[in-house]
Amino acid sequence: MNGAMWRVVSRASSLIFHSKKRNALSVTVRTFSAPTGLYGFPHLKTAKGFQSFVDEAIQRSGELISYICAKQPASEVMRAMDEISDTVCSVVDSAELCRHTHPDREFVEEASKASMRINEYLHYLNTNHDLYDAIKKAEQECNMLSEEAKRGVRNLRADFERGGINLCSGKLDQVNKLNIEIAQLCREYNENIVMDPGIVDIYPSSRIPRNLHYLVKPIHRSVSLITKDLSGSRGTLKEKGFRITTDPQTVSSVLQFSSDDEVRKMVYIRGNSVPQANVDVLKRLISARHELAQIMGCSSYTEFSIKPNMALSPKVVMSFLLEMSKMVKPKTREEHRLLTKFKREKCGQSDEDLRPWDETYYMTMMKSSAYKLDASVVGSYFSLSNCIEGLKVLVQSLFGATFHSIPLAPNESWDPHVLKLSLHHPEEGDLGYLYLDLYSRKGKYPGCAHFAIKGGRRISPTEYQLPIVALVCNFPGSQNPSAVRLNHWEVETLFHEFGHALHSLLSRTDYQHFSGTRAVLDFAEIPSNLFEYSLIFNWDLQLECQHPPVQDEKDVFRMVMWHIISCRALGYYAWDYRVLRKFARHCSTGEEIPQKLVESMQGARDMFAATELQRQIFYALVDQTLFGEQPLPHGDISSVVAELKREHTNYGHVKGTHWETRFSHLLNYGAGYYSYLYAKCFAATIWKKLCEEDPLSSTTGFALRTKFLQHGGAREPDALLNDLMGDGIYRYHDGGIVPDISCLCDEMKLVEEYPLQVHL
């Protein structure tokens, strides 16, 4: 969402003030007895309904602003502010989901218009001095409020100020102009990636293995040839080749499966040197963010970004990253040595070096050779229906809740294959609602993502607005879930995103301001990390790129870290045999997945895990450095990236490449990419000390829910972590918080190489 205070409350809520005036947004999300529309919103029966949806949101927000300005007590100010957010963000979130998933072009266009209109209104809200003054007054009078309400008032005031509202008018105008410029540069950066993915033409076609033909486009060229008769006349022959579009997914597949060194090299270089236009865009983005930070009284954009987070300062983050880099380096060198030796044996050349375009290919070969894994065999145990059953088993075992299919109302769905589930607890009733949009289709957002539609909030002592979320995936093939086979990376992704959805569904905060993943950046992904562990953890960029695009970089600060911790935690569940055997069954025989197969999968995962971790450390260091002190330490951007790569990986920079020009996390998580590593450490500790002994026990689930998930961002993250795990899960350094890394070291078998002499 666009702006300061509203960026963290973009998941909607419900009416607090029961005025006599009609308010369409006062309809709770529990039932849709009245005629309804898309996602249950009565306005959205047709695409044009987005216009009235925006109109009523603005009208109702105006009423609430007037109410707040009539000198209400602190409790009413907080509730009214939360309702404004709910009212406006119902439009924002539904428009975003519609823009990325709806097959009807008219709906997409109207949702885009609604998004632009409501974002303009958000700018008005974020610069409204009457609201800011009311919040400051409420903060001074909040002694009688609940702890969550006090935290809400403090956060709203801080968010206003992060938007520059307390600056003089001239500087505030500069901040607003810079925010607009930054948003435009982010859009331009993403558009360039789409418009210029790069191409490589390969001749002859035999150089591309058959299993990659689905990714490439046949092409032909004329080749001159001399006839064999005495006339010496020339003829022509049409030679078939393939055109490779070097988008990230295709590049990844080619680097993994093509045995032709030259093909891999061409694809790697081309894929990492487009779009050229983003060299300048990124330079301008860095400059604009730096100027913004300086106006806000910070020495760098990293300082501005990290201030609200657990880490508190760039110094703390850099200390953590450099210590992680030092920790992992010995094992990565050994992995690099083994991979180089393997390549030389396969090539029959004792002096052959390992190139950047070789790494993925020989890793895949080496894993296959060591563990004899066949992707088709693994996939036969992971039908989509089995995996959905696995999610149900997880929720039932841990939380005593069940998912039930419920019918969709007329006009509520956007595609015939969308399913709606309720998460039901036998004692508490329905806990929330989940839309499943699982299959690929033309024009749909290409990744896997969790979209929140409504956030939970308390309406009265006896009423609670239930959360509504959508889980969007792009699984190919038949739309019969029993016939769709997932590779394990897709299973991981499903569990990861389900971790986000589950966190939203189980959150029980009084204010939707704190619902679900709305927490500080370096805290938000712990739950999803944890649940992903139950499959098999793959710390790869592909997984991290699946989140939906963020309209405003400020959206990320409060949601990402809690999201990281939640999803990484779920990730551990995705690898545990005790969990997998509950649902992974052979598509033909029905037999449960063999333990030896799971052990082979785990072994393949663990090979080169240090190298994968090192890559993420490198990404985080690039992110911190580019948005750090200016001017950049090594001159231009590519020089900075090249130097960091030489220092913190086992590969040198390939001349002419500029990988950073399509690493979109520099936009969405500017100076915050380190959060994934924070979450990985936190999730490893939670798994090791709380979940590993009995991952499916109700005792474990009770602790996760009552001490962690249900609080969303309503409590300080260090208090939540300490309540869940006790002392030792984090430590203080220069006023900031850093995670303990000992469990991660143990998990990755880094103890021998790096004896945990860690004192940040």
179, containing H or E segment: helix 169-195
In order, the DSSP letters of 367-406 are HHHHH---HHHHHTT-BHHHHHHHHHHHHHHHHS-EEEE-
What pLDDT is attached to residue 449? 84
Least confident of 34-38, 349-353, 604-608: 34-38
CB atoms within 10 A of CB 566: 38
Residue 319 lies in a domain: no
The 10 Å Cβ neighbour count of residue 203 is 14
Name the domain boundary from 244, 267, 290. 267
**Distance from chain centroid for Cα 606:** 23
Burial of 6 (0-12, 13-18, 19+ CB in 10 A): buried
- Listed ranges 59-63, 176-180, 190-194, 603-607; the one with the highest mean pLDDT: 59-63
Q: How far apart are CA 174 and CA 180, in angstroms?
A: 10
Q: What pLDDT sits at residue 2?
A: 35
752 is catalytic: no
Q: Decide: 245 and 267 in contact? Cβ < 8 Å.
A: no
Weakest mean pLDDT among 285-289, 469-473, 665-669: 665-669
Tokens of 721: 């972590």
Range name among 26-30, 182-186, 417-421, 636-640 with the lowest pLDDT average: 26-30
| For residues 407-432, average pLDDT | 96
> Which 8-state DSSP code applies to residue 592?
B
Same domain, 379 and 262: no
Q: What is the mean pLDDT of residues 619-627?
A: 98
The candidate with the shortest Cα–Cα distance to 17, out of 63, 57, 52, 71, is: 63
Cis peptide before 739 (omega within 30 of 0): no
SS3 610: helix
713 in any annotated domain = yes
Identify which of 560, 640, 675, 645 has the alpha carbon closest to the alpha carbon of residue 282. 640
Q: What tokens appear for 78 in the block?
A: 């907080």
262: enclosing H helix or E strand: helix 261-271
Residues 230 and 136 in one domain: no
CATH number of the domain that 109 lies in? 1.20.1050.40
Share of the chain above pLDDT 70, in %: 86
- Is the pLDDT confidence value at 108 over 50? yes
Q: Are residues 152 and 211 in the same domain?
A: no
User: What one-letter code names the amino acid at 161?
Assistant: E
Whether the predicted pLDDT of 753 surpasses 50: no
- Classify residue 756: in a domain, yes or no: no
The CATH number linked to 591 is 1.10.1370.40
pLDDT digit string, tens, across residues 293-311: 999 999 999 999 999 999 9
Of 15-19, 91-95, 154-158, 283-287, which gets the smallest average pLDDT?
Answer: 15-19
The DSSP secondary structure of 601-623, one letter per residue, reads HHHHHHTTHHHHHHHHHHHHHHH
Tell me which DSSP letter residue 589 carries: T
Asked, for residue 630, whether it belongs to a domain, the answer is no
pLDDT of residue 147: 96
Given a cut of 80, whether residue 757 has pLDDT beyond it is: no
Residue 451 structure tokens: 């979209």
Mark whether 130 and 237 lie in a shared domain: no
Q: 625 versus 749: which is more confidently predicted?
A: 625
Say whether both 580 and 450 belong to one domain: yes
Q: Identify whether residues 434 and 528 lie together within a single domain.
A: yes
The residue with tokens 């004329």 is 222
What separation in angstroms does the CA of 206 have from each of 345, 357, 635? 24, 20, 43
What's the pLDDT score for residue 543? 30
Rounded Cα–Cα distance for residues 439 and 458 (Å): 34
Mean pLDDT of all residues in 269-288: 97
Number of domains in the chain: 3
Question: Which of left, alpha, beta for 268 (phi over 0: left; psi -120 to 50: alpha)?
Answer: alpha
The mean pLDDT of 645-652, rounded to a whole number, is 96
Residue with the bigger pLDDT between 511 and 528: it is: 511
DSSP 92: H
- Domain range for 580 is 375-607+696-726
Q: For residues 297 and 317, what is the distance between their CA atoms, to the nearest angstrom?
A: 20
Name the phi and psi angles at 478, rounded to 5.
-60, 150
**pLDDT more than 90, % of the chain:** 70
Q: Is 672 helix (H, G, I), strand (E, B) or coil?
A: coil
- pLDDT tens by residue, 585-597: 999 999 999 999 9
Same domain, 387 and 488: yes
SS3 218: strand
Residue 675 lies in a domain: no
CA angle 689, 695, 696 (to 5 degrees): 145
- The whole-number pLDDT of residue 56 equals 97
Q: How far apart are the first and last CA of the chain?
A: 35
Asked if residue 457 and residue 530 are part of one domain, the reply reads: yes
How confident is the model at residue 572, as a pLDDT?
A: 80
With bands split at pLDDT 50, 70 and 90, how would you rate the model's confidence at 65?
very high
Token couple for 268: 């790697």
Mean pLDDT, all residues of the chain: 86
Confidence of residue 617 (pLDDT cuts 50, 70, 90): very high
Per-residue pLDDT of 363-419, as tens digits, reads: 999 998 999 888 889 999 999 999 999 999 999 999 999 999 999 999 999 999 999
Q: What does the DSSP assignment read for 390-447?
A: HHHHHHHHHHS-EEEE-PPPTTT-SSTT-EEEEEEETTTEEEEEEEEEEE--TTS-SS
More confident residue, 493 or 389: 389
Q: Identify whether 641 is part of a domain.
A: no
| Catalytic residue, candidates 139, 148, 497, 553 | 497
Whether the per-residue pLDDT at 336 is higher than 50: the answer is: yes
127 in the same domain as 221: no
Please give the structure tokens belonging to residue 370: 């060591």
CA distance 432 to 312: 34
584-594: burial string, b at 16+ Cβ within 10 Å, e else: bbeeeeeeebe
- The residue-averaged pLDDT of 503-511 equals 94
Q: Which of 426, 354, 397 has its CA nearest to residue 652?
A: 354
Whether residue 215 is found in the same domain as residue 161: no
Confidence of residue 3 (pLDDT cuts 50, 70, 90): very low
- Residue 567 has a pLDDT of 52
* 218-247 pLDDT tens trace: 999 998 876 655 555 667 889 999 999 999
493 and 559 part of one domain: yes
Q: Is 298 within a domain?
A: no
Interior/surface letters 66-77, b for 16+ CB within 10 angstroms, e for the rest: ebbeeebebbbb
Q: Are residues 455 and 560 in the same domain?
A: yes
Helices (H), 70-104: 74-101
CB 118 within 8 A of CB 91: yes
- DSSP structure string for 340-357: HHHHHHHHT-TTPPPPTT
Residue 293 to residues 127, 286, 319, 599, Cα–Cα distance (Å): 18, 11, 22, 49
């409590």: which residue's tokens? 715
pLDDT band at 751 (very low <50, low <70, confident <90, very high): low
211, part of any domain:
yes
CA distances from 244 to 201, 214, 269 (A): 6, 10, 13
Ranges 526-535, 609-618, 744-753, most confident: 609-618
pLDDT at 562 exceeding the cut of 70: no
